[in-house]
Amino acid sequence: GSSVQSAGLGEAEIAKVEAQLTQLRQRHNQLAHSNRAKEVALARQEDELRDIQKSAKPPDASSNPQLRQIRTLENRLDKAMIKFNEAQAIRKTYDQIVKRLKDERVNFDNQLGAIESTLRAK
């Protein structure tokens, strides 16, 4: 009698485990199908990305007159800036020369006055 009860209990447990196993297999199949669908979608998006990257090249300056004009204007601006900086450096040099000449004029006037007074004294 007791072996029949334990066998019955064992069959109930087996049936329960088999039901859980069936559920787990179904869930596994659902996830596997979902993964395959996502892999296909990913591959399609990667193909689209490659196509977009191939078609999206930087603008060619030789084919676009506006870009060519911009580059020309930039070059002219660079040359003008170089000339401006050179002119500033030359102006600074001349300002220093003028300051030095003014200083020397004061000394020259003093020296000339001293020489004149010495000549008058003789």
Q: How far is residue 27 CA from its own chain's centroid?
A: 46
| Mean pLDDT, residues 54-62 taken together | 74
The answer to whether the beta carbons of residues 62 and 70 sit under 8 Å apart is no
pLDDT digit string, tens, across residues 33-44 = 999 999 999 999
Give the DSSP per-residue string, 16-78: HHHHHHHHHHHHHHHHHHHHHHHHHHHHHHHHHHHHHHHH-PPPPTTT-HHHHHHHHHHHHHH
pLDDT digit string, tens, across residues 1-24 = 555 455 567 888 999 999 999 999
Gap between the Cα atoms of 30 and 38, Å rounded: 12
Give the CA angle between residues 87, 89, 91 to the nearest 5°.
Answer: 70
Q: Which of 91, 92, 114, 94 is nearest to 102 (CA)?
A: 94
Of 57 and 29, more confident: 29
CA atoms within 13 A on the CB side of 56: 6
Of 22 and 57, more confident: 22
Gap between the Cα atoms of 76 and 90, Å rounded: 21
| Mean pLDDT, residues 60-84 taken together | 90
